[in-house]
Structure formats: C-alpha cells, structure tokens
Amino acid sequence: MNPPPTPAVNHHAGHPGFAGPIGSAMGLYMYLAGRRRARTVVDLAAVTSADSVVDIGCGPGGAVAAAARRGCRVTGVDPSPSMLRLARILVREKTIGWIQGSAEELPLEDGAATVAWAVATVHHWPDVTTGLAEIRRVLAPGGRLLAIERSVRADATGLASHGWTEPQARTFADLCRTAGFTDLRVDSRAMGRYEAWAVQALRP
C-alpha cells in the first residue's frame, strides 16, 4: 500500500503576484488591514532592539514597520517592484532597507539576520526547499524563523484557499527540520479576524 501524498505547502506558487495599479491598491488595503497582524508577528518573533530582521515577501511593509518600531534593523524583501515602491512611501523609518528578491535568492550576506519571517507568503514560493536553505544561510546561529499562514479548509478554492491546512503547516515544519532547523513548534493563532498557523524554528 502506497503512503498518502505529501500535502503541498506552496500550492499557489504560480500566482502572478502583485503589480500595476491593482497591485498597489491591494497593497494599500493589506497595509491598513494588517496592522494588528503585524504587531502579532513582532510579538511572536520576540523582536528586540538587538535583532536584525528580514521579512521575506514583505509586501507593503506593515510587519517591517512594526519591527522597526522596536528599534531593530529590518530588511524588507519582495519580488514585486510595485510592492516595494508602495512600502517606501508608507514606511520611512531609517533603520529599514528594501531589496527586491525572493525566498529562493535572498540578496543578503551569510548570517546577516537574527530573525527571519514569512507572513502569508510561503504558499507562493516556487521552491520551498531552496527557500529554507537560503533562510538558514542568512540567519546567524541561534537565529529564529517564523512562518505564518492563514488557516484554510482542505476543500477551499480561490482566495479562500490561500493559506495552510493543519497537515500543510506540519509538512512545512517537517521541511524545516530536514533543512537543519531545530526546536520546531506548530501552533494555531488568532490573527485579527481569522485563525492562522504559525511555525517557529531555530537555526542551530
């Protein structure tokens, strides 16, 4: 008897992303609607002024801004030039850098960050295994990884399916373990008006 297939954790990897006027409008909505979520992300990651944070798939920069208000250095990375242009307009703290890039090709030096997070973006990564290897590379020893995705039903379609089921969250945790991360935690969390899956790990 064959084992059941491994549930995908990047099931929208072919999504075209955010671009143009519509993408900018969506980005503004995401920034305004996601302020509570941004504070939750920073709290979960236990960010302090001693940290150097990289936000992978930063979008319009809500979580980046929340981290910068804790006094740490932050780098927002996103593949969309439209999102980065909007982020530069909305978020102006001096401790922030904005770089175009992706999870699979992070334009950062080895060990450059103490915290890396991906909020509602892992399900868009073309290659999760390569993305995790890159995150491990840019995290310093003892660095923390946090991935958050909206909790979705297995039979959801369209925008309602953008997130993880519990098996998908646990599959991502397994991939983190395979990539060399330790101290894995998988939790269900309230994120404003919806529930989300949070996967946390350490880079040894």
Is the overall model pTM greater than 0.95, yes or no? Answer: no
For residue 7, which of 171, 163, 179 has the smallest C-alpha distance?
171
Q: Is residue 10 part of a domain?
A: no
150 part of a folded domain: yes
Task: Give domain status of residue 34, yes or no.
Answer: no
In a domain, 182, yes or no: yes
DSSP element (H, E) containing 166 = helix 166-178
Q: Which residues, other chains included, contact 174 with Cβ-Cβ below 8 Å and sequence gap of 6+? A: none
pLDDT tens, position by position, 9-32: 776 555 555 555 555 555 544 544
**Does residue 33 fall inside a structural domain?**
no
- 41 is written with which tokens? 């992300």
Distance (Å, whole) CA 141 – CA 204: 5
Domain assignment of residue 97, given as a range: 49-203
In a domain, 20, yes or no: no
Query: Which pLDDT band, with edges at 50, 70 and 90, does 200 fall under?
Result: very high
Q: CATH number, domain at 166?
A: 3.40.50.150
Instruction: Domain count for the chain, please give it.
Output: 1
Cα 203 to chain center, whole Å? 16
